[in-house]
Amino acid sequence: MLNPAAIHLSLPLPGGLPSDAPQAGQPFRAVVQGDPGSAFLRLGASRVALPPDGPPPGTPVVVTLTGTPRGPVLQVAPQPAAPTPNTADALGTVLRQLNALPLAREAEALLPATLPRHDDTLGPLMRLLFTRGTVAADLARLGEMLATARSSGALAPALDQAFLTAAAPWAAFDAAGLAGLLRRLVRDLRGEARLAEAIQSGAALDEGTPVLREVLARLAGSAGLRDYLRRNGQAAEFDAALGRVVDRLTGAQHQQLHGHGAPYAFLEVPFPDDAGVQRAQVHFLEEGRRDPATGEPAARLVAFDLETERLGALWVALRATPDQTSCHLRAVSTKVVSALREATEELAGALGAAGCANARVTVSRWDGNRLREAAALLRRVTGLDLSG
């Protein structure tokens, strides 16, 4: 690890100043270049070698030329850290844009501790949680435009295939395929978690199968594709659809950062437009110590944040232990509450058929504050002892 004091350096320039050197006394920003053990700073057309224990390549520094009786000296200091933004101000800006400022208290509890408090990082997470989205429809439209681009020779087949592979878990599906889709999405969380880790640490991504967001970035940077889209008048539509998908994927990756401090995972199920589902977000949690013999937690919790055309807004909380499963359905509509209460035995039977032990279903009225429910869910796992 770099000693912070080592970044403050005074380097004599025995050869004098190059003709194109910056003006003496005027600080300028630079980035250390080279390789570990042979790092340097560029001064005009010249290189100034840094000592082996100095700042490593990639370090941003402030450089100042000063004159001394023995000749010019290069002063190297760390770049000042950017001021820490005020979370309330940044969050307030985003929530005002979403017309959701009254929910600020719940929204604050939803922020992962490691998420930088900037408008551009909070925005995707807040839009994911406060607005409806249609990732499946946008991906379907992107696929249509990419197919025509490939047939016209404007898109490399390998890049088109990478998109089809990465987008497959988000494709439209029928009801019978829902279980399979959920399994694929949960599996894909491993790839999304690599991106979440990179967001948190600033580290480069490790090698592996490209996930959807990486493939979309490659498409956005394809000069041949962009030229084709411009010539066909599709560039604006393509960029808008791609932007919406990236925004929601980014928000989901930010939400995954909660998993660094607790056994938590999140996914958004991409129902197509004609499925009658406006929102389907799922929170997965674990509770209690794991059994040393089986490796299973004391309880698993799953919360479904749903909105459908027929039933309206729903919050479904499922808690499963090896001995019992409880399912609590909450609905905004009084009629829906009555209908669900009449169906509790049928719903309990369906859970039992799916392998849930001693299933019990309850129903209650709900005020629809989904952000408060999500915040309470996350507070529930704060401070869990994960050592077992």
Distance between CA atoms of residues 75 and 66, nearest Å: 7
Task: Confirm whether 27 is domain-assigned.
Answer: yes
Task: Confirm whether 309 is domain-assigned.
Answer: yes
Task: Confirm whether 235 is domain-assigned.
Answer: no
Compute, in degrees rounded to 10, the torsion defined by CA atoms 244, 190, 163, 308.
-50
Edge-to-edge strand list for the sheet holding 71-78: 9-12, 71-78, 60-68, 28-31
Domain with residue 297: its CATH number is 3.30.750
What contacts 190, CB < 8 A, 6 or more positions away? Answer: none
Task: Confirm whether 136 is domain-assigned.
Answer: no
Task: Confirm whether 192 is domain-assigned.
Answer: no
pLDDT of residue 344: 93
Instruction: With CA atoms as reference, report the closest residue to 137 among 273, 244, 269.
Output: 273
Distance between CA atoms of residues 92 and 108, nearest Å: 10
Are residues 337 and 320 part of one domain? yes
Task: Confirm whether 387 is domain-assigned.
Answer: no
Distance between CA atoms of residues 116 and 256, nearest Å: 14
* 8-state DSSP, 364: E
Are residues 114 and 58 part of one domain? no
Are residues 124 and 100 part of one domain? yes
Are residues 340 and 303 part of one domain? yes
| Cβ(360)–Cβ(327) below 8 Å | yes
Are residues 65 and 116 part of one domain? no
Total domain count, the chain: 3
Domain span including residue 376? 276-382
Query: How would you write the pLDDT of the chain (388 residues) with one tens digit per residue?
Result: 344 444 677 877 766 666 556 666 677 777 787 777 788 887 766 778 888 878 887 788 888 877 777 777 878 888 776 555 577 788 888 888 888 888 887 888 888 877 888 888 899 999 999 887 778 889 989 999 999 999 999 999 999 998 988 887 776 555 445 555 555 555 555 444 444 444 444 444 344 445 788 889 889 989 999 999 999 999 999 999 999 998 998 888 888 888 776 788 888 888 777 778 888 899 988 887 777 777 777 888 889 999 998 999 999 999 988 889 999 999 999 999 999 999 999 999 988 888 888 999 999 999 999 988 988 888 776 544 433 3
Task: Confirm whether 199 is domain-assigned.
Answer: no
Instruction: With CA atoms as reference, report the closest residue to 199 among 138, 259, 127, 244.
Output: 259
Helix axes 334-342, 344-353, angle to 10 degrees: 60
Task: Confirm whether 266 is domain-assigned.
Answer: no
What contacts 36, CB < 8 A, 6 or more positions away? Answer: 56, 57
Are residues 376 and 283 part of one domain? yes
Burial class (CB in 10 A: 0-12, 13-18, 19+), 299: middle
